[in-house]
């Protein structure tokens, strides 16, 4: 954990260079190569894609003279954990609007994520699952804005235009580390990470692996972020008959868990079950089904989220 605001500030203003680790995997063809971009190493809590997605938002909050950050998430949300930590580090207050009002009076049932967020000073406001569905609704947002006028609002998952543009730092690093890469494969929740990577690398292929069922509803928003005419990206939910989502958001299968374990052991790293385990399972399946061209140089994006290893996350 970073100890002082200054230290974190330094880290958030210049993305730390994270390793590009070679991947050794049986399914790779003779002329194919793969690496994993270890952004799980960029920060203990503001980790992986969260580091990038929050970066410009924190600057914007500071420039607007806001007293705090207000955001939305589930009880196991990586984004809630990251936002609470970042706010504390930057001397900002923080409010988390949390899905599930059954938790309001039951602190003993709180996830480690919520306990940790509260310890970092985040005020937790629990709302019913029904109310939470309105998290993008302009009317509810306007009401919240009038309740918390000096707070900077960040959408669920930290996904907005500033988050998308900050993902270009990841592409810049990869370009330096491996200039002739051809494919970048990342996990998808809202699609902002996929959008940012695709936008920053128009001459490469960016493939997003859906961690939820029926993820096609994300496509219009992803297109709005990337630009309607850019076609260097795909949102993949399955290959042949093999689905990547493991039964839905927060669910998994024995096959996904076995692939996760094997990849973790081989590469001496950790994945989490909601996003990156499914990414690796998809990579393995796509290789088995010969979906990558023969000479591909493939980068897997480790988007962090390791605080969610013991539970579920979003």
Distance (Å, rounded) from C-alpha 270 to C-alpha 86? 23
How far is Cα 238 from Cα 244, in angstroms, rounded to an integer?
5
- From the list 187, 286, 287, 298, which residue makes contact with ligand PLP (rule: CB under 6 A)? 187
191: contact with ligand PLP by CB under 6 A: yes
Burial class (CB in 10 A: 0-12, 13-18, 19+), 119: exposed
**CB 304 to ligand PLP: min, Å:** 5
For 39-182, strand residue ranges (E) read 68-73, 93-99, 122-127, 151-154
Query: Distance between CA atoms of 208 and 226, rounded to whole angstroms?
Result: 13
The stretch near ligand PLP (CB under 6 A) out of 17-25, 54-62, 138-146, 299-307 is 299-307
Residue 79 binding ligand PLP, by CB under 6 A: yes
Taking CB under 6 A as the rule, does residue 305 contact ligand PLP?
yes
The answer to whether residue 190 forms part of the interface with ligand PLP (CB under 6 A) is yes
**157 touching ligand PLP, by CB under 6 A:** yes
Residue nearest to ligand PLP (CB): 305
- Taking CB under 6 A as the criterion, the residue among 42, 71, 303, 307 binding ligand PLP is 303
Q: Does the protein bind ligand PLP through residue 49 (CB under 6 A)?
A: yes
Residue 259 touches ligand PLP, criterion: CB under 6 A = no
- Minimum Å gap between C-beta 282 and ligand PLP is 13
Going across the sheet that includes 205-210, the strands are 20-22, 33-38, 297-302, 183-188, 205-210, 233-236
Nearer Cβ to ligand PLP (78/260): 78
Q: In angstroms, what is the minimal distance from the CB of 208 to ligand PLP?
A: 7
Q: What's the number of CA atoms in the CB half-sphere (13 Å) around residue 260?
A: 20
Residue 3 to residues 9, 49, 89, Cα–Cα distance (Å): 11, 21, 8
Residues that bind ligand PLP (CB under 6 A): 48-49, 78-79, 157, 159, 187-194, 275, 303-305, 313-314
């Amino acid at each position: 954990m970073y100890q002082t605001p200054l230290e974190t500030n330094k880290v958030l203003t210049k993305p730390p260079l994270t390793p590009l680790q070679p991947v050794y995997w049986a399914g790779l063809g003779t002329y194919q190569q793969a690496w994993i971009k270890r952004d799980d190493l960029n920060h203990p809590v503001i980790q992986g894609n969260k580091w990038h997605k929050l970066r410009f938002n924190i600057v914007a909050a500071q420039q607007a003279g806001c007293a705090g950050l207000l955001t939305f998430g589930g009880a196991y949300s990586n984004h809630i954990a990251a936002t609470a930590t970042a706010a504390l580090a930057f001397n900002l207050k923080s409010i988390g609007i949390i899905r599930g009002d059954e938790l309001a009076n039951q602190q003993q049932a709180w996830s480690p994520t919520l306990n940790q967020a509260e310890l970092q000073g985040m005020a937790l406001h629990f709302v019913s699952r029904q109310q939470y569905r309105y998290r993008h609704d302009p009317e509810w947002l306007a009401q919240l804005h009038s309740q918390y006028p000096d707070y900077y609002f960040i959408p669920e998952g930290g996904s907005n235009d500033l988050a998308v543009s900050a993902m270009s730092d990841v592409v810049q690093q990869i370009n330096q580390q491996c200039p002739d890469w051809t494919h970048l494969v990342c996990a998808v929740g809202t699609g902002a990470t996929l959008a940012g990577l695709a936008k920053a690398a128009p001459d490469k292929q960016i493939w997003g692996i859906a961690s939820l069922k029926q993820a096609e509803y994300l496509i219009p928003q992803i297109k709005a972020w990337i630009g309607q005419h850019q076609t260097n990206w795909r949102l993949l939910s399955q290959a042949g008959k093999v689905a990547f989502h493991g039964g839905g958001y927060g669910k998994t299968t024995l096959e996904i868990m076995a692939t996760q374990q094997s990849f973790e052991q081989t590469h001496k790293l950790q994945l989490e079950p909601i996003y990156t385990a499914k990414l690796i399972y998809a990579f393995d399946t796509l290789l088995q089904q010969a979906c990558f061209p023969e000479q591909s140089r493939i980068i897997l994006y480790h988007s962090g989220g390791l605080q969610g290893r013991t539970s579920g996350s979003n």
